[in-house]
Structures are given as structure tokens and as C-alpha cells.
């Protein structure tokens, strides 16, 4: 398919308009600045570096690997008013109870996942799993979301390598939709949706970026962002805590490989938002769920030209400017 066409996303039950010829149009829009000066290994003014003071007056320990702590400015609180609002089913409110954590990947201020050693990334994987297990074990928590915003272009206010972990007393909308679509697919086909999708990608190979014995990196058939990718485990594993030792080692390798390719694509510290989607934290088995990671990078043509979701994307449906097959080939060939 060369011309405009629409692609279906079975995970979210939505469509994406693919208009690859738009990428050849002249560009006269906004050009982003790139970071020119290297970061120091330690920044005395950074509230995430070891031994430094945070906004609350607490001092970080002299940590040497990963370090997690309660967010000093949480979007969610463990104790909230139980008051609700329901005005004829039109104006509704419900309590937004939860916990927010920050997880530093490394004591080094200047390292990203793509620059860290695989053994150090394995510590990050273990820390993700530990946070999901610990927070998901709280009696009022129904879902734990791990996510990272990298780069000022994605709204990250501190370049120190870190992510956030939000645990909520409800299942957020996107994981809830994925729960419903995967459950329906299992009931209809007796296989998990992402397992069948992975088999399709392996057989076709057009959107496969990289893989090892336990993980595959693909540009999804339904991708919205120009160089969006998905990490899929070859075994149906429902969440991060369920990963076995060799699978965690292989994931660390996959994360380094993907981030290195991103950085090499336009010769810059590649910005993105990423996150992990696993089963809800309700104690259920959820046989329809397969853990997966998603990367949403905004860069479109170069290190300074980004893709905005505006106009048609906000008023009608998602639209992308190059095919997932071309994006995968560019990442694969690096």
C-alpha cells in the first residue's frame, strides 16, 4: 500500500490514517533546539543526584545503583475525599486515589538507558518489577503504571535518568481498553491477541526492528508516532514481576539496543515517552494479558523537526506521515 490508507489497532479498537506522501512536503514550521553542551556526571543543583537535597528538605542517600522514593509533588494521594458527583449522568466525579513514585536509573546525571551498561539496565528492570509488585500488593491499588518522559521536548523537567511509577485505585482508561480488547480476542480465538500479532510480525518481518531469544522490538502495524515501537516478550508473561531471570537479562539488552538505535537515528539524545502495560493488580490471572512496552518518540524528520498531534489528529483520528514499514527499516538498518 503506497497511498493513503487506514490501519486498525485491535489493542485500542481504533483506526489510524496513514498518509506517507505528507512527509515530502516543504517544512517551514517550528524547529526545535538541540542540547549542545554535555551534562556533568554529577550536578550539585539536581534534586535527583546522590547526596543532594530535594524540595521537601530530605537528602538523597549516596546511592550507587537505582533509587526509588515517593514523589515530592504527587498527582495522586493515598487518602482522598470519598465524595462523588453525578448530575443526571452528565457531570460525574469519582475519587482519584493512588500513590506516585520516582525511580532514578543511575547515580550518574549524564547517562541515558542507551548509554548505560546492560548490567546496570538489568538493575532498572528489577526495580520496575519490584515497584509494580510492591505497589500492586497494596489493598486499594488496582493498577500500576511505569512510564518515562525523556527530554525537554516531552516535558521532562530534569535530565537525570529517571522514570515515574503511578499506582491507582482504579484501572486507567488505556489499560482498561486493552484489558477489554484482549479479553474479547481470547474468548473469540482461544489465543492471546499480542501472541498472535507477534507471530504475524515474525512471519512477515517488515516491521521487525530487532530481537533476541526472549524479546522482539517492532514498529506496530497501527503505530501513530513516526518511530513508535513496541517491545513484546516471546513468552506470554502478564507483568514485569513475572519475568524470569533470563528474560530480564534479555530485556536489558533489548532496551539498550533500541535506545542506541534511537540516538543514532538523528544523532541526538532521542526524546520519547515510554511505558509498560501489564495486567491489573487485582490478583487475577488475566490469561488474555501479555506484557508489552511502548515507546512514543516525537521526532519526525531530524533532531529538530518534531511531529505534533494537532488538527485532524485531535478533531478526527490519528494520522501518521510515513509507513511503519519504512520507520522499521530505518531503525533496523542503523
Distance CA 69, CA 167 (A): 13
Q: In whole angstroms, what separates CA 191 from the centre of its chain? A: 25
Q: Active-site residues: which are they?
A: 162
The alpha carbon dihedral of 308, 215, 211, 249 has a sign of positive
Provide the β-strand partners of residue 53. 59
CB 219 within 8 A of CB 276: no
Amino acid at each position: 500500500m503506497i497511498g493513503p490508507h487506514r490501519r486498525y489497532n485491535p489493542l485500542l479498537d481504533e483506526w489510524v490514517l496513514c498518509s506517507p506522501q505528507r512527509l515530502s512536503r516543504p517544512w517551514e514550521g517550528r524547529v526545535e533546539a538541540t542540547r549542545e553542551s554535555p551534562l556533568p556526571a554529577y550536578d550539585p543543583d539536581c534534586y535527583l543526584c546522590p547526596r543532594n537535597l530535594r524540595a521537601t528538605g530530605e537528602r538523597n542517600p549516596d546511592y550507587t545503583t537505582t533509587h526509588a522514593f515517593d514523589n515530592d509533588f504527587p498527582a495522586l494521594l493515598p487518602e482522598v475525599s470519598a465524595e462523588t458527583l453525578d448530575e443526571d449522568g452528565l457531570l460525574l466525579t469519582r475519587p482519584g486515589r493512588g500513590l506516585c513514585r520516582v525511580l532514578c536509573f543511575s547515580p550518574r546525571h549524564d547517562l541515558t538507558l542507551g548509554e548505560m551498561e546492560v548490567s546496570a539496565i538489568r538493575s532498572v528492570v528489577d526495580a520496575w518489577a519490584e515497584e509494580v509488585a510492591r505497589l500492586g500488593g497494596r489493598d486499594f491499588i488496582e493498577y500500576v503504571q511505569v512510564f518515562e518522559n525523556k527530554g525537554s521536548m516531552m516535558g521532562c523537567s530534569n535530565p537525570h535518568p529517571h522514570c515515574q511509577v503511578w499506582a491507582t485505585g482504579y484501572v486507567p482508561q488505556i489499560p482498561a481498553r486493552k484489558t477489554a480488547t484482549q479479553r474479547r480476542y481470547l474468548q473469540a480465538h482461544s489465543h492471546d491477541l499480542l501472541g498472535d500479532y507477534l507471530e504475524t510480525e515474525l512471519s512477515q518481518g517488515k516491521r521487525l526492528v530487532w530481537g533476541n531469544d526472549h524479546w522482539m522490538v517492532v514498529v506496530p502495524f497501527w503505530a501513530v508516532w513516526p518511530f513508535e515501537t513496541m517491545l513484546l516478550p516471546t513468552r506470554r508473561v502478564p507483568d514485569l514481576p513475572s519475568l524470569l531471570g533470563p528474560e530480564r537479562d534479555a530485556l536489558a539488552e533489548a532496551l539498550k539496543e533500541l535506545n542506541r538505535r534511537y540516538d543514532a537515528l538523528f544523532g541526538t539524545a532521542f526524546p520519547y515517552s515510554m511505558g509498560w502495560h501489564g495486567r491489573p493488580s487485582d490478583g487475577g490471572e488475566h490469561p488474555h494479558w501479555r506484557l508489552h512496552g511502548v515507546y512514543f518518540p516525537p521526532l519526525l524528520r531530524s533532531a529538530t523537526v518534531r511531529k505534533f498531534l494537532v488538527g485532524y489528529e485531535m478533531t478526527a483520528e490519528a494520522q501518521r506521515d510515513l509507513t511503519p514499514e519504512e520507520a522499521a527499516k530505518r531503525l533496523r538498518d542503523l
